[in-house]
Amino acid sequence: MADVVRIHKTQTILDEIRDMQDRIMRRAYEIYQQNGGAFGRDIENWIQAERELKWTPAIELSETDNEFRLTAAISGVDTKDIDIEVTPEDIVLKAEIQHQHDEKKGRVLVCEFTPGIVFRSIHLPRKINPDKVKAEFKNGLLRLTAELAEEARLKKMEAA
Protein backbone atom coordinates (compact mmCIF):
# COMPACT_ATOMS: atom_id res chain seq x y z
CA MET A 1 0.00 0.00 0.00
CA ALA A 2 1.37 3.40 -0.97
CA ASP A 3 1.54 6.29 1.49
CA VAL A 4 -0.01 9.63 0.52
CA VAL A 5 2.51 12.50 0.57
CA ARG A 6 1.58 16.04 1.58
CA ILE A 7 1.78 18.74 -1.08
CA HIS A 8 2.13 22.48 -0.48
CA LYS A 9 1.10 25.13 -2.96
CA THR A 10 3.45 28.10 -3.07
CA GLN A 11 3.80 31.27 -5.11
CA THR A 12 7.45 30.75 -6.07
CA ILE A 13 10.23 28.22 -5.61
CA LEU A 14 12.98 30.85 -5.78
CA ASP A 15 13.22 31.09 -1.98
CA GLU A 16 13.81 27.33 -1.76
CA ILE A 17 16.54 27.45 -4.39
CA ARG A 18 18.20 30.49 -2.77
CA ASP A 19 18.09 28.81 0.64
CA MET A 20 19.82 25.70 -0.73
CA GLN A 21 22.45 27.80 -2.53
CA ASP A 22 23.10 29.78 0.68
CA ARG A 23 23.63 26.56 2.65
CA ILE A 24 26.06 25.27 0.02
CA MET A 25 27.89 28.61 -0.11
CA ARG A 26 28.32 28.69 3.69
CA ARG A 27 29.63 25.12 3.69
CA ALA A 28 31.98 25.82 0.75
CA TYR A 29 33.40 28.78 2.70
CA GLU A 30 33.91 26.55 5.76
CA ILE A 31 35.81 24.08 3.56
CA TYR A 32 37.88 26.97 2.16
CA GLN A 33 38.78 28.04 5.71
CA GLN A 34 39.58 24.45 6.77
CA ASN A 35 42.00 24.21 3.83
CA GLY A 36 43.92 27.25 5.09
CA GLY A 37 42.28 29.72 2.73
CA ALA A 38 43.96 28.26 -0.34
CA PHE A 39 42.95 30.15 -3.49
CA GLY A 40 42.02 28.50 -6.77
CA ARG A 41 39.88 25.70 -5.31
CA ASP A 42 36.50 27.43 -5.43
CA ILE A 43 34.86 24.88 -7.71
CA GLU A 44 36.22 21.91 -5.74
CA ASN A 45 35.01 23.46 -2.46
CA TRP A 46 31.54 24.09 -3.95
CA ILE A 47 31.25 20.55 -5.32
CA GLN A 48 32.35 19.05 -1.99
CA ALA A 49 29.79 21.21 -0.15
CA GLU A 50 27.03 20.10 -2.56
CA ARG A 51 27.94 16.44 -2.05
CA GLU A 52 27.86 16.86 1.72
CA LEU A 53 24.60 18.78 1.90
CA LYS A 54 22.27 17.58 -0.81
CA TRP A 55 21.38 14.55 -2.81
CA THR A 56 19.62 14.93 -6.17
CA PRO A 57 17.32 11.98 -6.86
CA ALA A 58 16.86 10.46 -10.31
CA ILE A 59 13.53 11.32 -11.94
CA GLU A 60 11.36 10.41 -14.89
CA LEU A 61 8.86 12.96 -16.19
CA SER A 62 6.24 11.89 -18.71
CA GLU A 63 3.13 13.51 -20.15
CA THR A 64 -0.29 12.23 -21.14
CA ASP A 65 -3.05 14.29 -22.72
CA ASN A 66 -4.14 15.80 -19.41
CA GLU A 67 -1.33 15.41 -16.90
CA PHE A 68 2.34 15.12 -16.08
CA ARG A 69 3.58 12.04 -14.27
CA LEU A 70 6.73 12.34 -12.22
CA THR A 71 8.55 9.42 -10.63
CA ALA A 72 11.49 10.08 -8.30
CA ALA A 73 13.77 7.54 -6.63
CA ILE A 74 13.98 8.64 -3.00
CA SER A 75 15.02 5.62 -0.97
CA GLY A 76 15.90 5.67 2.70
CA VAL A 77 13.40 8.32 3.82
CA ASP A 78 10.09 8.15 5.66
CA THR A 79 6.96 9.43 3.98
CA LYS A 80 6.50 11.99 6.75
CA ASP A 81 9.90 13.51 5.90
CA ILE A 82 9.04 14.17 2.23
CA ASP A 83 7.93 17.69 1.37
CA ILE A 84 6.59 18.66 -2.05
CA GLU A 85 6.03 22.25 -3.11
CA VAL A 86 4.21 23.13 -6.33
CA THR A 87 3.61 26.22 -8.40
CA PRO A 88 1.90 26.30 -11.79
CA GLU A 89 5.35 25.98 -13.43
CA ASP A 90 7.52 24.06 -10.95
CA ILE A 91 7.74 21.14 -8.55
CA VAL A 92 10.24 21.01 -5.70
CA LEU A 93 10.97 17.73 -3.93
CA LYS A 94 12.63 17.90 -0.52
CA ALA A 95 13.31 15.37 2.20
CA GLU A 96 15.55 15.07 5.20
CA ILE A 97 17.76 12.00 5.32
CA GLN A 98 18.41 10.81 8.86
CA HIS A 99 20.81 8.12 9.96
CA GLN A 100 21.62 7.00 13.47
CA HIS A 101 23.48 3.99 14.77
CA ASP A 102 21.75 1.58 17.11
CA GLU A 103 24.38 0.63 19.66
CA LYS A 104 22.23 -2.28 20.83
CA LYS A 105 22.83 -4.00 17.48
CA GLY A 106 26.59 -4.00 17.89
CA ARG A 107 29.61 -1.89 17.08
CA VAL A 108 29.55 -0.17 13.67
CA LEU A 109 32.68 -1.03 11.69
CA VAL A 110 31.86 0.76 8.43
CA CYS A 111 29.13 3.30 7.70
CA GLU A 112 28.69 5.05 4.38
CA PHE A 113 25.28 6.50 5.22
CA THR A 114 25.30 10.27 5.65
CA PRO A 115 22.53 12.56 6.80
CA GLY A 116 21.55 15.30 4.40
CA ILE A 117 18.86 16.83 2.26
CA VAL A 118 17.17 15.46 -0.85
CA PHE A 119 16.52 18.43 -3.11
CA ARG A 120 15.24 18.47 -6.68
CA SER A 121 13.63 21.32 -8.58
CA ILE A 122 11.75 20.43 -11.77
CA HIS A 123 10.63 23.18 -14.16
CA LEU A 124 7.65 21.95 -16.18
CA PRO A 125 7.26 22.60 -19.92
CA ARG A 126 3.57 23.54 -19.45
CA LYS A 127 1.54 24.92 -16.56
CA ILE A 128 -0.24 22.63 -14.11
CA ASN A 129 -3.12 23.16 -11.74
CA PRO A 130 -1.50 23.19 -8.25
CA ASP A 131 -4.86 22.17 -6.73
CA LYS A 132 -4.86 18.95 -8.78
CA VAL A 133 -1.52 17.42 -7.76
CA LYS A 134 -1.37 14.05 -5.99
CA ALA A 135 1.60 12.08 -4.73
CA GLU A 136 2.18 8.60 -3.31
CA PHE A 137 5.32 7.00 -1.91
CA LYS A 138 5.98 3.27 -1.98
CA ASN A 139 9.15 1.14 -1.98
CA GLY A 140 11.44 4.16 -2.31
CA LEU A 141 9.59 5.60 -5.32
CA LEU A 142 7.63 8.84 -5.21
CA ARG A 143 4.91 8.92 -7.87
CA LEU A 144 3.30 12.27 -8.54
CA THR A 145 0.53 13.21 -10.96
CA ALA A 146 -0.13 16.84 -11.86
CA GLU A 147 -3.13 17.79 -13.95
CA LEU A 148 -2.41 20.26 -16.75
CA ALA A 149 -3.89 23.71 -16.26
CA GLU A 150 -6.89 24.47 -18.46
CA GLU A 151 -4.96 27.07 -20.50
CA ALA A 152 -2.13 24.56 -21.14
CA ARG A 153 -4.63 22.05 -22.50
CA LEU A 154 -6.21 24.65 -24.76
CA LYS A 155 -2.82 25.74 -26.15
CA LYS A 156 -1.91 22.12 -26.82
CA MET A 157 -5.16 21.52 -28.72
CA GLU A 158 -4.72 24.68 -30.79
CA ALA A 159 -1.19 23.64 -31.78
CA ALA A 160 -2.31 20.21 -32.99
Query: Residue 28 carries which side chain, given as an amino acid letter?
Result: A
Inter-CA distances, 51 with 27, 124, 154, Å: 11, 25, 42
What is the rounded distance in angstroms from the CA atom of residue 5 to the CA atom of residue 3?
6
* Domains observed in the chain: 3-11+55-159 (2.60.40.790)
Q: Residue 79 carries which DSSP code?
A: G
CB-based burial of residue 59 (10 Å sphere; 0-12 exposed, 13-18 middle, 19+ buried)? middle
Count the Cβ atoms, other than its own, within 10 Å of residue 49. 20
* pTM of this structure: 0.74
The pLDDT value recorded for residue 104 is: 77
The answer to whether 130 and 67 are in contact (CB under 8 A) is no
* Residue 128 CB burial class (10 angstroms; 0-12, 13-18, ≥19): buried
> Can you give the pLDDT at residue 156?
58
Torsion sign, CA atoms 41, 45, 47, 51:
positive
Residue 47 main-chain phi, psi, to 5 deg: -65, -40
CB 93 within 8 A of CB 84: yes
**Distance between CA 67 and CA 124 in Å, rounded?**
11
Task: Write down the pLDDT at residue 160.
Answer: 56
pLDDT score at 5: 80
**Per-position pLDDT tens, the chain of length 160:** 777 787 867 777 788 888 889 988 998 999 999 988 888 888 898 888 888 888 889 999 999 889 999 999 998 888 998 999 999 999 999 998 887 777 777 888 888 777 788 899 999 999 999 999 999 999 999 999 999 998 766 665 565 5
